[in-house]
């Protein structure tokens, strides 16, 4: 054990050894006076020892860990303090302090009746010390310290913190990914796995938050009962997380919710075990709600993608995820309605243009039909007039003869039939129409080469084609 001794400097004596680099002495003003530091400022044990080299008497607030507790009979207890956070130095600082019975009774009244000196071992404490000079016969002067107040006591023993860090370090060495970086926010959270004790306040709190959502069909909860305390807690938790993995492979879980109520720090030891944490790291979107606001963090909290202080807060996080899905759905529906409105407007415009084009097409067809009817009327009228003229003995002259599929012939003038050179006019030829368009041919110039025609007679119709001929004039 390291002892702190301070000797008075004598003439000719060697200078005291220099202060080590890891000990920070108190600042000194330019006028040689000490810089005043408040007594309630919390400092580490190593800083306190550096301060004591300059000033022995005073009150200090120190954060340290209790290594041992020795009873002093009715006078109190003797505590051996060490560093709260080990620095790994070859000579770690140590300081023995005395906790008097009267001071201990005052601390118990301030903190609670549960304060036990034996329970302080391997725990981090914040205490207020009163230091003074102590003369020890035959060994020179030393420093003595007395605990005047116990401000706070760590809830987790040092062994629990060491086990938690050892578990997390082992997972990192294995290359496993865990923590908030593995969070994959589900777009539509529906299936939730709940890992909790079957009988407990944690289940009641979670059911109170999520049961309304389950009743209306927004989510489905797969309940997996387990135990968190006792010799079989590690095995039960491992099986529970394995069951969650099976559900994820079968149905695709959106999140895994693990909840536990409050309790003593010893009841959370199973949540720091390597087997439990390794199985929990395989669960999809692990959300932890362990203990209450004052419960220390466990290795399971570090592995979870989301760690909430209470089971109610964890269930509220799931409810917010479901509500966020509803908000996204409402926004998507609003965007869909807007797109439909735009498509409807564009469709109406296109339909209007199509209607206008269809109406214009109908008008064009009607005009064309009217023109054809007028042409047909004129052809019929002329045919009737020709028949009437033939009946009254009025003759007309033809300019050419159209013979179907025959060789070209000379154009003959139709006469009255008195001689052989002037054949008579035949009144049976009534109407000529184009075979492809149905138009009535009224003039000679409307004829084209190879044009198909229908010759309509009183007693029938014949199909002919116009062939080029050489016209000779007599």
Contact by Cβ (8 Å): 310, 202: no
Q: How far is CA 52 from CA 31, 142, 143, 246, 432, in A?
A: 20, 11, 8, 61, 134
How many percent of the chain have pLDDT more than 90?
A: 3
Q: Residue 139's pLDDT band (boundaries 50, 70, 90)?
A: low
**Residue indicated by tokens 């303090």:** 81
**Taken in order 81, 272, 209, 218, is the CA torsion positive or negative?**
positive
Say what the pLDDT of residue 197 is: 87
**Non-local CB neighbours of 100 within 8 Å, separated by 6+ positions:** 75, 76, 146, 147
List the chain domain ranges: 5-154, 178-326, 395-465
Q: Please report how the helices 233-251 and 274-281 are oriented relative to each other, as an axis angle in degrees rounded to 10.
A: 10
Mean pLDDT of 383-411: 52
Q: Residue 166's pLDDT band (boundaries 50, 70, 90)?
A: confident
Fold category of 178-326 in CATH: Rossmann fold (3.40.50)
Residue 6 has pLDDT above 60, yes or no: no
The b-or-e profile of 287-302 (16+ CB within 10 A means b, else e) is bbbbbeeebbbbbbbb
Report the mean per-residue pLDDT for the chain.
75
Q: How far is CA 338 from CA 202, 348, 350, 384, in A?
A: 45, 15, 18, 68
Separation CA 85–CA 47 (nearest Å): 13
338 or 407, greater pLDDT:
338
Contact by Cβ (8 Å): 196, 259: yes
**Residue indicated by tokens 């214009």:** 360
Neighbours of 153 (CB within 10 A): 19
Pick from 190, 201, 191, 288: which is nearest to 237 by CA?
A: 288
Weakest-pLDDT range from 20-24, 161-165, 366-370, 435-439? 20-24
Contact by Cβ (8 Å): 147, 79: yes
3-state secondary structure 57-115: CEEEEEEEEEEEEEECHHHEEEEEEEECCCCCCCCCCCEEEEEEHHHHHHHHHHHCCCC
Q: How far is CA 217 from CA 127, 193, 214, 432, in A?
A: 54, 15, 5, 82
Q: Residue 176's pLDDT band (boundaries 50, 70, 90)?
A: confident
Fold category of 5-154 in CATH: OB fold (Dihydrolipoamide Acetyltransferase, E2P) (2.40.50)
**Residue indicated by tokens 């004039």:** 473
* 141: region left, alpha or beta (phi > 0 left; psi from -120 to 50 alpha): beta
Say what the pLDDT of residue 446 is: 84
């Amino acid at each position: 054990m390291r002892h702190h001794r301070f000797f008075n400097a004598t003439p000719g004596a060697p200078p005291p050894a220099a202060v080590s680099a890891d000990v920070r002495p108190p600042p000194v003003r330019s006028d040689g006076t000490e810089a005043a530091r408040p007594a309630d400022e919390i400092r580490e044990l190593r800083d306190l020892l550096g301060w004591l080299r300059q000033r022995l008497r005073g009150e200090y607030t120190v954060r340290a860990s209790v290594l041992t507790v020795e009873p002093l009979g009715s006078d109190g207890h003797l505590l051996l303090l060490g560093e709260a956070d080990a620095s790994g130095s070859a000579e770690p600082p140590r300081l023995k302090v005395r906790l008097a019975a009267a001071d201990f009774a005052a601390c118990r009244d301030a903190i609670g009746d549960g304060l036990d000196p034996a329970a302080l071992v391997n725990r981090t404490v914040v205490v207020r010390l009163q230091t003074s000079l102590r003369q020890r016969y035959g060994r020179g002067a030393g420093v003595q310290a007395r605990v005047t107040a116990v401000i706070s006591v760590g809830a987790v023993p040092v062994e629990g913190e060491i086990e938690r860090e050892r578990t997390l370090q082992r997972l990192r060495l294995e290359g496993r990914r865990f923590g908030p970086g593995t969070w994959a926010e589900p777009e539509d959270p529906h299936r939730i796995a709940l890992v909790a004790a079957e009988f407990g306040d944690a289940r009641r709190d979670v059911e109170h938050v999520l049961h309304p959502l389950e009743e209306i069909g927004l989510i489905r909860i797969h309940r997996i009962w387990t135990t968190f305390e006792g010799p079989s807690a590690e095995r039960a938790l491992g099986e529970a997380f394995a069951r969650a993995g099976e559900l994820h492979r079968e149905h695709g879980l959106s999140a895994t919710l693990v909840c536990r109520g409050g309790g003593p720090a010893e009841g959370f030891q199973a949540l720091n075990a390597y087997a439990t944490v390794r199985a929990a790291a395989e669960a999809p979107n692990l959300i932890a709600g362990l203990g209450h606001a004052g419960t220390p963090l466990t290795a399971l909290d570090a592995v979870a993608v989301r760690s909430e202080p209470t089971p109610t807060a964890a269930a509220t996080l799931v409810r917010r995820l479901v509500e966020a899905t509803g908000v996204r759905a409402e926004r998507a529906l609003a965007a869909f309605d807007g797109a439909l409105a735009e498509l409807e407007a564009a469709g109406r415009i296109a339909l209007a243009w199509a209607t206008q084009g269809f109406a214009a097409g109908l008008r064009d067809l009607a005009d064309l039909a009217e023109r054809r009817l007028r042409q047909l009327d004129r052809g019929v009228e002329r045919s009737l007039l020709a028949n009437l003229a033939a009946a009254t003995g009025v003759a007309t002259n033809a300019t050419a003869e159209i013979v179907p599929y025959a060789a070209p012939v000379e154009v003959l003038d139709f006469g009255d039939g008195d001689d052989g050179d002037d054949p008579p006019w035949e009144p049976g030829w009534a109407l000529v129409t184009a075979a492809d368009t149905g138009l009535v041919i009224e003039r000679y110039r409307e004829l084209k080469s190879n044009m198909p025609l229908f010759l309509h007679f009183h007693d029938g119709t014949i199909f002919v084609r116009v062939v080029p001929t050489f016209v000779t004039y007599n």
